[in-house]
Amino acid sequence: MILGQLITIPYTLFQTFGGSQMKYEDFYNPKYKPAVSDTICTFRIELRDPSKSMEWAAGGVAAESSIGTWTELTTEKPYMKKLAASVFKLNDNIAHVAYPIELFEPGNLPNIMSSVAGNVFGLGDIQYLRLLDIHFPKKLIQSFPGPAYGIKGIRDTVKVVKRPLIGTIVKPKLGLRTKDHAKVAFDAWAGGCDVVKDDENLASQKFNPFEERVVTTLDQRDRAEDETGDKKVYLINVTAETKEMLRRAQFVEDHGGRVAMIDILTCGYSAVATLRKQGFNLILHGHRAMHAAFTKLPNHGIAMPVIVTASRLLGIDQLHVGTAVGKMSEDREEVEINIRKCKEPLANLKPTLPVASGGLHPRHVPSLIDIFGVDFIIQAGGGIHGHPRGTRVGAMAMRMAVDATMAGQSLEEYAKSHIELDEALNRWPFA
């Protein structure tokens, strides 16, 4: 029997009968009082084998997401024990785990996530595992840049003080030639949108090359500003290989762009960190395409509040957080937690502006303002371009819905004197 076969003896067996290294149970520590410098993670655990104890499983999560167990050194070197994460609270299958700050490299989010959100999801003895929330200590938070603009900086840039910002996404998502893309953008701005955004999967495809698109669409932005007298922003998708992404962001800045958009999850936390580190005079818009692959299952994966906090630390100024009323799956409670995570005090970091997007149209505005308040962006693609009279009037109708709700008037009442809104309410009879 060769050595390799010996090593595959069931891990748990070794755990149970093994030598003097730490065991999963050793990481279960109800007497432990978290230090102010600890990072606290909350996990929901579902056991595969009900004969195992939740203390054991929670200890396993703490072990495998911190120093592990597989070495004698764990006990021989006293400083090692100090580094071990501790399960300090366990309510049924909800485990609260404290991580000593020395476990992590300050300012390095991929490093931290590789611990707390790394291998643990793959443990065979745990059927399902969900990272519900993460709280960082002040010292670690301060090792991150946070948003450069935040809510106030974005409002100052767009010169919109009180109401929600109104935005659209150029649709169809892909396929429009540059000239047509820029025309749709102009119509949306001229109709009253503050924001026009590239779709998450538009980069520099042959039908709409990046540089041509940026120059042509920014020209239309300027034209719309001249026509309306209002400030307008174009959210330009720079998602690409990291060096190329930086080159594109530089191009945006050099041509008078004010916002760079990045698909934060498909690019990864390192890429977001690199983009923020460059210190461009650009608002960073975070699209979360792919998030539902690990945020959607209620008993497994990573909950969206964790991604909100991560994005804010990394420097995302505005971030998609769900709508509760549109086409995507999150409910009101989930969305409200995401909104809170965007704005709650986080050491000295600025708040991130929440973005509501996904199947929205003017009829959704009253409930959106009820859920979000006024500090957010309403992003509607089909809900603006799908207006019977097209993009420009669609944008007018969305603006009217916001004006009506801000004035405390019902949409129906306001529509009596605003035909564009009336047409929209007929087009979308249900919220």
Q: Does 301 bind ligand CAP (CB under 6 A)?
A: no
Amino acid identity of residue 409, one-letter, is: Q
Give least dist CB 173 to ligand CAP, A.
Answer: 6
Q: Please choose which of ligand CAP, Mg ion, none residue 351 contacts, taking the beta carbon within 5 to 8 angstroms, the exact cut-off set by kind.
A: none
Closest CA to 279 of 242, 315, 234: 315
Q: Angle at which helices 365-372 and 391-406 pack, to 10 degrees?
A: 50
Q: Does 357 bind ligand CAP (CB under 6 A)?
A: yes
Give least dist CB 414 to ligand CAP, A.
Answer: 22
Pick the catalytic residue from 52, 89, 135, 171: 171
Q: Does 173 bind ligand CAP (CB under 6 A)?
A: yes
E strands along 136-244, which residues? 165-169, 195-197, 233-237
Q: Give 5's contacts (C-beta < 8 A, 6+ positions apart).
A: none
Q: Please choose which of Mg ion, ligand CAP, none residue 357 contacts, taking the beta carbon within 5 to 8 angstroms, the exact cut-off set by kind.
A: ligand CAP
Q: Does 264 bind ligand CAP (CB under 6 A)?
A: no
The span from the CA of 293 to the CA of 270, in Å, is 19
Residue closer to ligand CAP, measured from CB, 38 or 263: 263
Torsion of Cα atoms, 13 then 17 then 20 then 22, to 10°: 40
Q: Looking at beta carbons, which residue is closest to ligand CAP?
A: 381
Give least dist CB 283 to ligand CAP, A.
Answer: 17
Half-sphere exposure of 273 (CA within 13 A, CB side): 13
What radius of gyration do the chain's Cα atoms show? Answer: 25
Give least dist CB 247 to Mg ion, A.
Answer: 24
Biggest CA-to-CA distance, the chain: 86
Residues forming contacts to Mg ion in the complex (CB under 5 A) are 199-200
The span from the CA of 184 to the CA of 217, in Å, is 9
Reading phi first (left if > 0) and then psi (alpha if -120 to 50, else beta), residue 108 is in: beta
135 tagged catalytic: no
Give least dist CB 12 to ligand CAP, A.
Answer: 39
Stretch that binds ligand CAP, among 165-173, 239-247, 406-414, 417-425 (CB under 6 A): 165-173
The 178-217 site mask, x for binding ligand CAP (CB under 6 A), equals ---------------------xx-----------------
Stretch that binds ligand CAP, among 10-18, 61-69, 168-176, 395-403 (CB under 6 A): 168-176
The whole-angstrom distance between residue 238's C-alpha and the CA centroid of its chain comes to 17
**Residue 190: enclosing H or E segment and its boundaries?**
helix 178-191
Which spans of this chain sit near ligand CAP (rule: CB under 6 A)?
169, 171, 173, 199-200, 288, 320, 322, 327-328, 357-360, 380-383
Q: Indicate which residues carry an active-site annotation.
A: 171, 287
